Amino acid sequence: MIYKSGFVNIIGFPNVGKSTLINSLVGKNISIITHKPQTTRHRVLGILNKKNFQIIFSDTPGMIIKKVFFIQKIMMLYIKKSLEDADIILFITEIGKFNFVKEYFYLLNNIYKKKNIPIIILINKIDQIGIKYKENLLYKTIYYWDTLFPNIEILPISALKKINQELLINKILNYLNEHPPYFPKEWISDRSERFFVNEIIRETIFLLYQKEIPYSSEVVTEQFKKYNIFIYIFSFIYVERDSQKGILIGYKGKSLNKLKNYSIKKIENFFKKKIFLKIQVKICKNWRSNYQKLKNFGY
C-alpha cells in the first residue's frame, strides 16, 4: 500500500471561508468561524488521517493589504511562511468576487512558477447559486480566474455544504508524494487545549460584540484543569481601553455573563465534558501594536 502525507496550505482574502473549509475537511471545529472579516489570527493546522494518507491542512489569516496594526503585519507573515512550506496551496475565493490584488498576484505567480508548488484555485460558496446568485455568475468567476492564471486548476466548492469535497481530496492526493505520516495518527491539530478555549471565547466575542471590540480583544487561558467529571477553566480577556472593558462586562455584568454562557456551551461541545468557566477582563494598553505584548500572547 502506498502511504501519502504532506502539507496543504489554505490562503485567501478575509471571509471567503478558509476556516470553514479546514473544519469541514478535518471534521472538527478546530478553527473559529464568524461572519466578520479577520477572524483568524493564527496559523492553525488541521490534520486529516485516513488509512492510506495524512493531509496536514493549514488555515491562515485572511490576506489584507492595509496593515494598520503590528498584529496585522504578523498575520501576513504567517501567510508568507505558509506559502513557503507548502506541498500544495489552496487559494480560496468566492463566487462573485473579482477582487484580485496585484501584490498577491505576483506572490502567487512566483510560487507557481519559481517554486513549482502546485496551486488549486477554489471558488467557494457555490451553494448560494439559485439562492443569492445566478449560475452565470459562477461561469464569470471561473473565467476571471482562468484569465489571470491560465494554467492553474480551478474547482468550485461549498465548504459549508461539502460540495466537491471528495473531488478536492482526490486532487490533493494526486499531487502528494509517498511519505510516512508527519504527525501521530490520532492528532487532529498541532494546537493545545488552551488554544482552543481561547479561540472559542474569541469567536463568541466576535459574535456578540460590535465594531472594535472583537478586534481589540485577546483571550489567554491561565488555567485548564481536567477532573473526572468536568474541566476547570480560568481565562483572561484583554482589551485595549477602560471603555472597552465596560462594554465587555456590560450593565451589572450581563454582557459578560452572556458571553460566558455561550462560551461554556461551545467549549463543552468541543471537549465533550462539563465545563466550569471563570472569566476576568483586563486591560492591556495598545497590545495590537506592541511587539513584546504580542509575543507574550503567542504571536
Given the DSSP bridges, would you call strands 274-283 and 230-239 parallel, antiparallel or unpaired?
parallel
- H-assigned helices in 16-69: 18-26
Q: Which residue from 73, 89, 59, 64 is spatially nearest to 14, judged by alpha carbons?
A: 64
Q: Is 128 in the site for ligand GTP (CB under 6 A)?
A: yes
**Binder among 5, 8, 11, 20 for ligand GTP (CB under 6 A):** 20
Instruction: Candidates 9, 15, 58, 244: give the one binding ligand GTP (CB under 6 A).
Output: 15
| Piece of 8-16, 107-115, 141-149, 228-236 that binds ligand GTP (CB under 6 A) | 8-16
Q: Quick one: what does residue 17 bind among ligand GTP, Mg ion, none, with the CB cut-off 5 to 8 Å set by partner type?
A: ligand GTP
Site residue total, Mg ion (CB under 5 A): 4
If binding is defined by CB under 6 A, does position 290 make contact with ligand GTP?
Answer: no
Distance CA 58, CA 56 (A): 7
**37 forms part of the interface with ligand GTP (CB under 6 A):** yes
Residue 152 within binding range of ligand GTP, rule CB under 6 A: no
Alpha-carbon span 175 to 138, nearest angstrom: 26
Of 50, 84, 48, 77, whose CA–CA distance to 61 is shortest? 77
For position 16 contacting ligand GTP by CB under 6 A, the verdict is yes
Spatial distance between the Cα atoms of 30 and 253, rounded to a whole number of angstroms: 29
Q: Which stretch binds ligand GTP (CB under 6 A): 65-73, 124-132, 183-191, 277-285?
A: 124-132
Q: Which is nearer to Mg ion, 168 or 176 (CB)?
A: 168
189 is a contact residue toward ligand GTP (CB under 6 A) = no
Phi-psi domain of 248 (left: phi exceeds 0; alpha: psi -120 through 50; beta: other): alpha
The binder of ligand GTP chosen from 86, 159, 231, 248 (CB under 6 A): 159
16 vs 5, 13, 228, 275, CA distance in Å?
Answer: 26, 6, 40, 32
Residues that bind ligand GTP (CB under 6 A): 12, 14-20, 33-35, 37-40, 61-62, 124-125, 127-128, 158-160
Binding site for Mg ion (CB under 5 A): 18-19, 39-40
